[in-house]
Amino acid sequence: GYAHMDIKPHNILIRRPNSSSGSSRGSSRPRRLQQQLTPPSACEMAITAGAGCCGAAAGAGDAEEDEQQQALTADLEAGRSLVVRGYEAVLTDFGSARAVPIQIGSRAAALTVQEDAEVHCTATFRAPELFDVPSHCTLDGRLDVWALGCTLYAIMYGASPFQQAVDQGASLALAVMNCRIPWPKAPALRYPQELHSLVGLCLTAEHAQRPTVMQLLERVQELMAAGLPDAHQQPAT
């Protein structure tokens, strides 16, 4: 499989899917239905992006997960995406994609991967293991899971959780490896705790303890089925 390696808001398109059913010459019904859609909230965009990116990141699971993952993501691989209230997320710009798993067996190999990441992976969305690649390790689709966590936070609050370190002139690598998420305090909007927990799950510092894309997709689907309230319905704390 492959890992995208540079998931970030600029590489995610949230759009209204094209309606292929019920259309005929002279019929305006599909157009009227699309016009009735209101813009998605930040909460809905976050869940939509999570669903779309989880499905599109094809290099996440191991051999035991392949069959189940293919069943869950068949529509995405056919050029579609998971839909939330009439919107879908499409992952774009695969120039940074790399085959995974990446087996590292020497310091030279580790430095090669690290230098490639410095060129192709946006720093504030880059997983901690890519800042100092171990000489003996295996990297997989969980690189994308970290980037997705940063992306979900950015959709909610406007920037990566580690942008603050850059703005303050602090060490970005240290901020990422310490993985302290600066959740905004009141009067900033408060999103559902389930969404905060999803971001925290993605931003698990230890690569081996971070969920796979398959595991994350299952969690996102649970949240989609639950129907989370938006931020304005939550009390600021």
What radius of gyration, in Å, describes the C-alpha atoms of the chain?
19
Spatial contact of 89 and 7, defined as CB atoms under 8 Å apart: no
| 73 to 100, 195, 216, 217: CA distances (angstroms) | 18, 22, 13, 9
Q: Which residues contact 191 (CB under 8 A, 6 or more apart)?
A: 42, 43, 46, 156, 230, 231, 234
Q: How far is C-alpha 157 from the chain's CA centre? A: 15
Which residue among the candidates 6, 75, 93, 116 is catalytic per the annotation?
A: 75
Judge whether 75 counts as a catalytic residue.
Answer: yes
Which two structure tokens, joined as six digits, stand for 158? Answer: 């406007």
Which two structure tokens, joined as six digits, stand for 235? Answer: 């009390």
Which two structure tokens, joined as six digits, stand for 115? Answer: 């230098």
Q: DSSP E strands: which ranges in the chain? A: 2-3, 12-15, 83-84, 87-91, 98-99, 102-104, 137-139
Can you say whether the dihedral through the CA atoms of 202, 12, 141, 78 is positive or negative? positive
Cα–Cα distance for residue pair 86/68, rounded to 1 Å = 25
**Catalytic residue positions, numbered:** 75
